[in-house]
Amino acid sequence: MFKRVLIANRGEIAIRVARAAASLGVDSVAIFTRADAMSLHTKLAGASREIGGDAVRGYLDIEAVIDAAKASGCDCVHPGYGFLSENTLFAERCEAEGLRFIGPSPASLKLFGDKVEARAFAEAQGIPVIPGAPKLASGDEAKAKAKAIGYPVMLKASAGGGGRGMRAVARPEEMDEAFARCQGEAEAAFGDRALFLEKIVPRPRHIEVQVLGDGQGNVVHLFERDCSVQLRNQKVVEVAPAPNLDAGLRQRILADAVKLARAATYENAGTVEFLVNPETGEHFFIECNPRIQVEHTITEQVMGFDLVEAQ
């Protein structure tokens, strides 16, 4: 068991990590910027350290976070969600400094951080993906690919997430403007302009599977959550288990989630996401989030299992 964890986050997830650490007999150290000096997570951790930067940028400063961990005598770092949780460089720096990154390996972060590569990886495992086209060089190329696939299509940022960098395109004449806007959003949000497209699945169900892996090829799932109720491609309501889901379809989705994680020699907690065509019963892999999710508490309530302790 680790002896002291640096909590590289704030708010609800930082509180959860502090409580999970305490329940396991692990010391915890919270970091905070000046704006968060009185925040609850600083009171619940065993100790706390101020780091520089404003309310947001301080938590994104890799070297400041690592310096805080080393100065506090920590042997591991829990990144929570958001901020540095999916940052491959941060995971690599932790490894180089002898700090255990409580999350997936840098290789998994890199693979699943690129949605185009993740699609190709899933397809190579025989897992169905939505018909689409890989990274696009221009709006003209996007129009040609969309014509071959059939409208309507969804433009997506390869490095995207959280509903950002996505735009539906119903007709060829909409593509140039949509491509430029989507590319700008992707660069602003993720620092990566790369886009790809997928055919739109009409009125889909969005099903995500909670997985845990040990990095040795052993993977389990903790069943699924239905996150179909969304606003602007962002989840609003989650239900677990997914209601009115055909038993055979549920088993296929769960099996594909485990297959994907096992093929990637996945370690720690992750969420494998699928779209389901309600008319045909087909399911399609769309992405894997290589971290604990905001929505993990839904699974915990249903399963009676502490995912942060498991991490």
Within 10 Å of residue 263's Cβ, how many Cβ atoms? 16
Tokens standing for residue 88: 């491959």
What is the pLDDT, as a whole number, of residue 271?
98
String of DSSP letters for 211-271? EEEESSS-EEEEEEEEEEEEETTEEEEEESSPTT--HHHHHHHHHHHHHHHHHTT-EEEEE
Which position among 10, 119, 167, 291 bears the catalytic label? 291
Confidence band, pLDDT 50/70/90 cuts, at residue 49 = very high
Question: Is the predicted pLDDT of residue 55 greater than 80, yes or no?
Answer: yes
DSSP letter string, 95-148: HHTT-EESSS-HHHHHHHHSHHHHHHHHHHTT--B-SEEEEESSHHHHHHHHHH
Question: For residue range 122-153, what is the model confidence (pLDDT) as tens digits?
Answer: 999 999 999 998 889 899 999 999 999 999 99
Q: Is the peptide bond before 152 cis (omega within 30 degrees of 0)?
A: yes
- Phi, psi torsion values for 246, nearest 5 degrees: -55, 135
pLDDT for residue 3 is more than 70: yes
**Contact (CB, 8 A) for 211 and 266:** yes
Compute the distance between CA of residue 37 and CA of residue 162 in angstroms, rounded to an integer: 28
Q: pLDDT at position 73, please?
A: 97
Residue 191 is predicted with a pLDDT of: 81
Q: Per DSSP, what are the bridge partners of residue 221? A: 211
Strands of the sheet with 100-101, listed across from one edge: 47-50, 27-32, 4-7, 76-78, 100-101
**189 pLDDT above the threshold of 80:** no
pLDDT in tens, 169-184: 999 999 999 999 999 8
Report the pLDDT value the prediction gives residue 230, as an integer from 0 to 100: 87
Whether residue 59 is predicted with pLDDT greater than 80 in this model: the reply is: yes
Provide the b/e sequence for 67-97 (b: ≥16 CB within 10 Å). Answer: ebbeebebbbbbbbbbbbbbbbebbbbbeee
Phi, psi dihedrals of residue 96, rounded to the nearest 5°: -65, -30
Higher pLDDT, 194 or 25: 25
pLDDT > 70? residue 39: yes
201-259 tens-digit pLDDT:
989 999 999 999 999 999 999 999 999 998 887 889 999 999 999 999 999 999 999 99
Alpha carbons 237 and 295: distance in angstroms, whole number: 9
Average confidence score pLDDT of the chain: 94
Q: Is 49 among the residues known to form the active site? A: no
Which amino acid is present at 203? R
* Residues 217 and 262: beta-carbon distance below 8 Å: yes
Percent of the chain predicted with pLDDT > 90? 86
State which amino acid sits at residue 7: I
Specify the pLDDT at position 64: 96
Report whether pLDDT(162) > 70: no
Q: What is the pLDDT of residue 76?
A: 98
| Locus of tokens 């897992």 | 127
Q: Is the pTM of this model over 0.85?
A: yes
Output the pLDDT for position 190: 82
CA-based nearest residue to 259, from 292, 285, 293:
285
Contact predicate 289/161, CB 8 Å = yes
On the question of pLDDT at 309 being above 70, the answer is yes
